């Protein structure tokens, strides 16, 4: 054979890293942190090995643990001291995320992003105010327009507490524009908005609902989260958020929707985020515990695939473990 093109020439140890097309750095990653107003000590999350709910008094130490691995950004999720039909603890000045944000920004240099949604705060577990008779009628769930003002109030309260970025995740139509207008009117023009622009009604969220105590008390979220069958719709959703002022565009989940991540990256010049969700994390841990997979290798390969698809930043429960090995 007379082979002039031999790709294996570029796979030897010396040159392989020089021609590697994609890399994952600690600064590409964002670590979720669960802050629990009902806890006095750290509480392990059974379905998410290695993760805990932390009390407010422990949140600075928890964030510093993240920072020590080289990861610079955290996303805060709150478990409030009480819940009600409106989710009013979501925008309370002394709410769990607000107090955690004040402490973190005062005592660390972490970049703080806050999740803006009502599901952890409502007693029914849905992402907004319920439509009349929603519990009885399966074709009704959340009143979109009535929920927008509550999301705006929540985002303003997070910004006032010192959040660098707010991340609305409820998939309400118009949420980005409403939040951007509210932030600007309150003097928070420099607070960025990372929209969960294409968030699917996915079966991969199960462990998170255990972690954040945010499972719906009835029904599901198919009437406001996206149909997993739809990709073109994702581009329409993302375009609307861009027009309303989103600074960063997130696709959630990540691995089952890498095609969507890639299409968003191709169509838009905004930074693209992807959420490597709890189910993706838990299934690798479960397989590793069985001895079927190498956890370290599959975790890194998963994050590489998300970067290769086009994500600029990745929200992942593997953030600290992967950063430690980079």
Least confident range of 107-116, 221-230, 234-243: 221-230
In this structure, the chain runs to a length of 326
CA distance 166 to 160: 11
For the stretch 68-86, pLDDT in tens is: 999 999 999 999 999 999 9
Q: Please report the pLDDT score of residue 172 as a whole number.
A: 94
Nearest-CA neighbor of 32 among 285, 247, 207? 207
Confidence label for 248 from pLDDT (cuts 50, 70 and 90): very high
Percent of the chain with pLDDT over 70: 94
Q: Please report the pLDDT score of residue 209 as a whole number.
A: 65
Q: Please report the pLDDT score of residue 300 as a whole number.
A: 97
Q: Please report the pLDDT score of residue 132 as a whole number.
A: 82
Q: Please report the pLDDT score of residue 204 as a whole number.
A: 92
Pairing between β-strand 43-44 and β-strand 73-79 as defined by DSSP bridges: unpaired
Between these two residues, 136 and 12, which has the higher pLDDT value? 12
Reported pTM: 0.93
Q: Please report the pLDDT score of residue 3 as a whole number.
A: 87
CA distance 325 to 297: 10
Contacts of 264 (CB under 8 A, 6+ apart): 197, 198, 234, 235, 238, 249, 251, 272, 310
Judge whether residue 43 has pLDDT over 80. Answer: yes
Helix axes 295-309 and 258-267, enclosed angle (nearest 10):
30
- Catalytic residue status for 252: yes
- Catalytic residue status for 290: no
Q: Please report the pLDDT score of residue 138 as a whole number.
A: 63
For the stretch 1-16, pLDDT in tens is: 788 899 999 999 999 9
Catalytic residue among 83, 252, 290, 307: 252
CA distance 272 to 274: 7
Q: What is the mean pLDDT of residues 33-50?
A: 94
For the stretch 171-190, pLDDT in tens is: 999 999 999 999 999 999 99
Q: Please report the pLDDT score of residue 213 as a whole number.
A: 64
Q: Please report the pLDDT score of residue 129 as a whole number.
A: 86
């Amino acid at each position: 054979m007379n082979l002039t093109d031999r790709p294996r020439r570029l796979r030897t140890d010396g040159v392989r890293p020089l021609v590697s097309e994609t890399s994952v750095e600690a600064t590409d990653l964002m670590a979720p942190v669960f802050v629990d107003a009902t806890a006095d000590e750290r509480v392990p999350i059974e379905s998410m090995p290695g993760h805990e709910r932390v009390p407010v008094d422990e949140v600075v130490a928890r964030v510093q643990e993240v920072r020590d691995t080289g990861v610079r950004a955290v996303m805060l999720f709150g478990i409030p001291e009480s819940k009600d039909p409106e989710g009013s603890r979501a925008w309370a000045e002394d709410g769990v995320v607000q107090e955690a944000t004040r402490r973190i920004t005062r005592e660390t240099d972490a970049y703080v992003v806050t999740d803006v949604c009502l599901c952890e705060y409502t007693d029914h577990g849905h992402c907004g105010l319920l439509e009349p008779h929603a519990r009885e009628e399966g074709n009704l769930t959340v009143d979109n327009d009535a929920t927008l003002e509550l999301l705006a109030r929540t985002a303003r309260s997070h910004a006032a507490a010192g959040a660098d970025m707010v991340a609305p995740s409820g998939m309400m139509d118009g949420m980005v524009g409403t939040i951007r207008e509210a932030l600007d009117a309150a003097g928070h023009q420099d607070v960025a908005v990372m929209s969960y622009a294409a968030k699917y009604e996915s079966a991969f969220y199960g462990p998170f609902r255990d972690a954040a105590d945010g499972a719906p008390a009835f029904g599901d979220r198919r009437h406001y989260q996206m149909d997993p069958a739809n990709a073109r719709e994702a581009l329409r959703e993302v375009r609307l958020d861009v027009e309303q002022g989103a600074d960063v565009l997130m696709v959630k989940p990540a691995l089952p929707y890498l095609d969507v991540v890639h299409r968003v990256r191709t169509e838009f010049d905004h930074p693209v985020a992807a959420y490597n969700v709890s189910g993706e994390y838990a299934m690798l841990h479960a397989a590793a515990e069985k001895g079927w997979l190498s956890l370290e290798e599959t975790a890194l390969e998963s994050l590489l695939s998300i970067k290769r698809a086009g994500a600029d930043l990745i929200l992942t429960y593997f953030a600290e473990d992967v950063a430690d090995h980079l």
